[in-house]
Structure 1
Amino acid sequence: MISYNPLWHTLLNRGMNKGDLKDATGLSYGTMASMGKNEPVNLKQIDRICKALNCGISDVIEYIPD
């Protein structure tokens, strides 16, 4: 399972919320909703997040074995 908990922690540490992330990356509401449900999203979206937040992939997602 993919978890976006590291992303939510990264946002909190930077004083940002999901709306700020959406504005900074241009992600769609659908993509944001998918991430909120820990559903997979395209790696292009992860790349956009990493670029906008100037962070690594481990600051955005983590893999949790089922």
Structure 2
Amino acid sequence: MIVYERLWKTMDQKNITTYQLINKYHFSKGQIDRLKRNANIEMITINNLCRVLKCRIEDIAEYVEDESV
């Protein structure tokens, strides 16, 4: 499963808050909620996060084996 724990660390390092993502960069609250729940998101969201944070995909997401499968 894809998890977004690295996103929160990267945001902290870059001093970007979820408030800024929503209000300055126009991410929806739903997108932020899906990221917090490690739910499915579109690649355009990953692309936009990389653009805003000036980072690589691996700074946002990582694959971890889902033990429930």
Q: Which runs of 5+ in 1 are unaligned?
A: none
Max Rg structure: 2
- Residue 6 of structure 1: CA displacement? 0.5
Give the Cα separation in 2 of the matches to 1:25 and 1:9.
18
Which has the larger helix fraction? 1
- Residue 24 of structure 1: CA displacement? 4.4
Give the Cα separation in 1 of the matches to 2:61 and 2:14.
16
Q: Tell me which stretches of 4 or more aligned residues in structure 1 moved more than 6 Å.
A: none
**How many percent of aligned residue pairs carry the same amino acid?**
29
Q: Which runs of 5+ in 2 are unaligned?
A: none
Q: Structure 2 length normalisation: TM-score? A: 0.85
